[in-house]
Amino acid sequence: MFINVPFDSQHERLFLALIAGLVALGLNPRCVLEVPPSTDRLRRLCSLIRACPFSIHDLSQIQLSPGPFRVPRFNMPFELGLAAAIAFEDGVTHQWRALERVPFRLNQSLSDIGGYDHSIHSGTIEGTMDVLLDIFGNAKSLSLSELDDLMWVYRRVREFRATLRSSIYRANAFRKIVATARLFAEARGIEAADAD
């Protein structure tokens, strides 16, 4: 599962929620953070997206960036464009879904995908988890499948994040967070099994 989100301190909790939620559901989140910077970065990014059967693209941060150049943020829609192109390739099974915070805004900001469903997370953790359950809820082999389970894993992952000194938008932080989420998801699964 490729996840495409704004690397933004204000968006950090939603990024953690996506990782925790996906891992709790038994999926493997992948991210551009895993692609080392190099001249071949774009090709490797395409390979990573192509290797993932699904991708999620959060297009909720559409404001102009701060700083000397007040520019829109093109990385998220660009990566969505790559995923959409890959989904059209012969012999490739790739599905993508756009996320937004505000209903109907995507119809204006990116009308080219107007014919495709997108999901609204409302900028909240629970909204993000609900979106994941809406999208993947019909899979039969989910590890955990209740909102409470996903939130349980998320809260513990957040506690782990507090132990990291640097930004979470780094390759080493990303892989540690995924591993932590996996261990907590296992623990939650064991706890649920014991309760039955």
Q: Between residues 7 and 110, which has the closer beta carbon with respect to other proteins? A: 7
Which stretch in 27-35, 39-47, 84-92 sits in contact with other proteins by CB under 8 A?
A: 27-35
- Contacts of residue 139, Cβ cutoff 8 Å, sequence gap at least 6: 25
C-beta separation of 107 from 89 below 8 A: no
| CB closer to other proteins, 33 vs 46 | 33
- Specify burial of residue 63 (Cβ count, 10 A radius: 0-12, 13-18, 19+): exposed
**Is residue 174 within 8 Å of residue 31, measured between CB atoms?**
yes
61 within 8 A of 102, measured Cβ to Cβ: no
53 token code pair: 């059967």
> Quick one: 86 or 180, whose CB is closer to other proteins?
180
Instruction: Kindly tell me which of 39 and 138 has the beta carbon lying closer to other proteins.
Output: 138
What H or E segment, with its residue span, contains residue 146? none
**Of residues 35-64, those binding other proteins (CB under 8 A):** 53-54, 61, 63
One of 41, 137, 148, 170 touching other proteins (CB under 8 A): 137
In whole angstroms, what is the distance from residue 133 CA to residue 127 CA? 10
Segment near other proteins (CB under 8 A), from 41-49, 80-88, 123-131?
123-131
Minimum distance from residue 187 beta carbon to other proteins (Å): 6
Q: Which of 136, 146, 147, 192 binds other proteins (CB under 8 A)?
A: 136
Residue 168 near residue 174 (C-beta atoms within 8 A): yes
Got the DSSP string for 83-129? HHHHHHSTT---EEEEEESSTTHHHHHTGGGTTS-EEE-TTSHHHHH
- The number of residues that bind other proteins (CB under 8 A) is 67
The tokens for 96 are 């993508």
CB 85, CB 32: distance < 8 Å: no
Restricted to residues 73-102, the positions that interact with other proteins (CB under 8 A) are: 73, 75-76, 93, 95, 97, 101
State which of residues 11, 44, 50, 105 lies at the interface with other proteins (CB under 8 A).
11
By CB under 8 A, name the binding residues for other proteins: 6-11, 13-14, 26-28, 34, 53-54, 61, 63, 65-66, 73, 75-76, 93, 95, 97, 101, 103, 117-120, 122-126, 131, 134-143, 151, 154-156, 158-160, 163, 172, 174-176, 178-180, 182-187
